[in-house]
């Protein structure tokens, strides 16, 4: 548990999955949280389950007006803003040549443009508070090339770069900007892929398993806290070692494939 006492945080896409886990981590750390999402019923239920320290507001991250309303609401409810977690996002699962331009644009609009608008909108409140922390949720797909993620991967690379630009430009205002890069994590967004929790169920990752939302949330909470006061512009991979390199299982599979092809 990280000390987040007296801190007020806005978390987008907080109705479920990683966002809901991050909201729980903020409340468990003693902070207050505004959960925003387009999923109204689930968002309201998540906030209610967290008790009096949590609020919910419907919020489309691609809308500048919605961002203004969300941050005004947070300021009115909490009297301050200490942190922002740009977590809202959507995924893709098609090869680049089969991805439609319309869907590609939609994914980039939500994942990258939504993050840009959020950073821009939050700066005045954070600056008025003497600084704060912005945590942008990128992905392991924002650290390396990953098939079947044309729009998603491109947008998450963009979030990674935008975070570094924000870190450089906003440091003078004591606003820290970092990105978190989750690996495969069991959430409602990834559940359709058919992944399973538990040891040995994801051998392509060095730790051999998928992540839990709470494990990503712990990294987010740390970056929101004063314990990370000297961290800005960092990219924090929470991916079970997936982006570190090939596993023994990968190497063995590659060797078998090479042998079948008759390559020496």
What positions carry a catalytic annotation?
A: 152
Give the orientation angle of helix 64-78 with respect to helix 114-128, to 10 degrees.
30
CB atoms within 10 A of CB 188: 14
Pair 91, 152: CB distance under 8 Å: yes
Pair 121, 71: CB distance under 8 Å: yes
The closest of 65, 255, 228 to 131, measured between CA atoms, is 228
Question: What Å distances lie between residue 216 and 28, 73, 191, CA to CA?
Answer: 15, 27, 16
Sheet with strand 132-137: strands edge to edge: 54-58, 32-37, 8-12, 83-86, 132-137, 175-182, 235-238
The H-or-E segment that residue 108 falls in is: helix 101-108
CA 61/CA 64 separation, integer angstroms: 7
φ, ψ of residue 158 in degrees (nearest 5): -65, -40
Extended strands (E) in 191-243: 235-238
CA 242/CA 37 separation, integer angstroms: 29
């Amino acid at each position: 548990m990280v000390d987040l006492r007296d801190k007020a945080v806005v978390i987008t896409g907080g109705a479920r999955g990683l966002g809901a886990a991050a909201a729980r981590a903020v409340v468990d750390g003693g902070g207050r949280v505004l959960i925003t999402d387009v999923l109204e019923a689930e968002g309201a239920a998540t906030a209610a389950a967290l008790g009096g320290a949590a609020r919910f507001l419907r919020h489309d991250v691609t809308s500048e007006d919605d961002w203004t309303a969300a941050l005004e609401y947070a300021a009115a409810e909490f009297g301050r803003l200490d942190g922002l977690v740009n977590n809202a996002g959507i995924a893709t699962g098609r090869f680049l040549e089969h991805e439609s331009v319309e869907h590609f644009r939609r994914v980039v609009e939500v994942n990258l443009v939504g993050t840009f608008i959020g950073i821009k909108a939050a700066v005045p409140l954070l600056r008025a508070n003497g600084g704060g922390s912005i945590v942008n949720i990128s992905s392991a797909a924002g650290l390396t090339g990953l098939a079947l993620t044309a729009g998603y991967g491109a947008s998450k690379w963009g979030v990674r770069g935008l975070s570094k630009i924000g870190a450089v430009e906003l440091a003078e205002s004591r606003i820290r900007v970092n990105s978190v890069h989750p690996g495969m994590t069991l959430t409602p967004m990834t559940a359709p892929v058919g992944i399973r929790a538990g040891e040995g169920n994801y051998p392509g990752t060095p730790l051999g398993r998928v992540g839990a939302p709470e494990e990503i949330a712990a990294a987010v909470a740390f970056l929101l806290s004063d314990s990370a006061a000297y961290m800005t512009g960092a990219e924090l991979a929470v991916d079970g070692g997936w982006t570190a390199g090939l596993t023994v299982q990968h190497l063995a599979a590659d060797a078998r494939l090479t042998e079948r092809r008759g390559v020496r």
